[in-house]
Structure 1
Amino acid sequence: MTPLKLIELDPGKYSLLLNAGTTAVDGVIEELGHESNGYFWEGIAQVLVATEAPELEGRFSYDPEAGMFCAYGNDREALEALGTRMSAVAGDTDRIRQLVATAEANGFEFDD
């Protein structure tokens, strides 16, 4: 799941974390007119859930910051599924381009 980390904060309470600005696609994100911060990655997570994994909808919450993406909840399986999807995106420049284009074509606005 690199560069994401899934940690258990308390028994049964999990956080999926990504330090923003540490991915292989940061340069492409900037080329596309966005900032590789936690809010941008929340947008990517929302697009992934909406377009590819609707079964994850409502199974966790988001709490990003400028320097970090965070999704949290008590559904470890859902967070692992999101982490796997996001990990694949974080290392694939073509995939990040495609997701941003899809999001923008559908009127999604990134909050970065």
Structure 2
Amino acid sequence: MDKDLLKQLTLWHNKNKYEKIINKIIEIPEADRDYDLVCHLARALNNQEKYNEAIHYFISVQEQGQHDPLWHYRLGYAYYYLEQYKEAVVAFGQAVALDPEFAAGSRFLEMSRNAAGRAGNETSPIVNVEKGIKIGNDTDLSEVNKKINPFGLVAHNNGSISMILSVGKYKHHIFQARAEEGFEGNGYDWGSLAAVFLEEKMPHLVDTVRFDPEADMFAAYTHNREAILSFAIAFKEACEDDALINDLFSRAELD
């Protein structure tokens, strides 16, 4: 792919200008679109919630994507939001197999397994190996998940619990208010906001709750169950109070 075009597509993605990405790539004759261009197109379609179209393009470069964890991850992302959880489990599982350190892939794999278990799909819900926690049957976690939607809680095999959010739409106006400073509403920006909230509103948890965001996902985690539950509920309540969350965000620093 042309370096200038790649730079432009990346800039548009960072600014959530997904329609510009789609229109630009569609202008290019299909025969001239390489693997990277097709993946950028499908990724932008994912972000526009056009998941079936995204899958079509991902499958069109399936042979080239077999050894690319990002290809599997983004395909799984489309399946997940279409609620095709069995297919999502397979895709995210392959992404993690190719890159065991792929944190976002691991989180979505566990979310897909949980969702598949709740939906009655033929796959086992995720189980915390060390403590035997099955999310679908854990009343506390299930109740908190209802309260903090669109955030979600995921239990991990190492005993930790994460609070996650696929960024892009929820409270995006908060970040737009400081767009000229470089804030885009990505996972890192959410991490900056959450850090201010934690420091000012729950300082006793500063050394307990940690943040591990990705560009497309906000994530907070800890091995302390009660800490993550109380943080999750309090942070979601803060997000619903526009005056409070805007005040906190005024002190957030660009990562």
* Stretch of structure 1 that moved more, 43-52 or 90-99: 90-99
**Alignment RMSD (CA, Å):** 1.7
Partner of 1:59: 208
Partner of 1:45: 194
Q: 2:254 is matched by which residue type in structure 1?
A: F
SS where residue 28 of structure 1 aligns? helix
Partner of 2:154: 7
Identity of aligned residues (%): 30
Kept after mapping to 2: 8 A contact 1:45/1:82 = no
Structure number with greater Rg is 2
Distance in 2 (CA, whole Å) between partners of 1:14 and 1:28 is 26
Q: CA deviation at 1:88?
A: 2.0
Partner of 1:110: 254
- Change over 3 Å in CA distance of 1:52–1:45 after alignment to 2: same
Q: Which has the higher contact order (CA 8 A, sep 6+)?
A: 1
Distance in 1 (CA, whole Å) between partners of 2:247 and 2:163 is 23
Indicate the structure with greater helix content. Answer: 2
Distance in 1 (CA, whole Å) between partners of 2:174 and 2:221 is 27
* Number of residue pairs the alignment of both structures matches: 105
Q: 1:78 is matched by which residue type in structure 2?
A: A
Give every structure 1 segment of 4 or more consecutive aligned residues whose post-TM-superposition deviation is greater than 4 Å.
none
1:96 and 2:96 matched: no
Among 222, 225, 229, which residue is 1:73 paired with? Answer: 222
Partner of 1:16: 163
Kept after mapping to 2: 8 A contact 1:19/1:69 = yes
Indicate the structure with greater strand content. Answer: 1
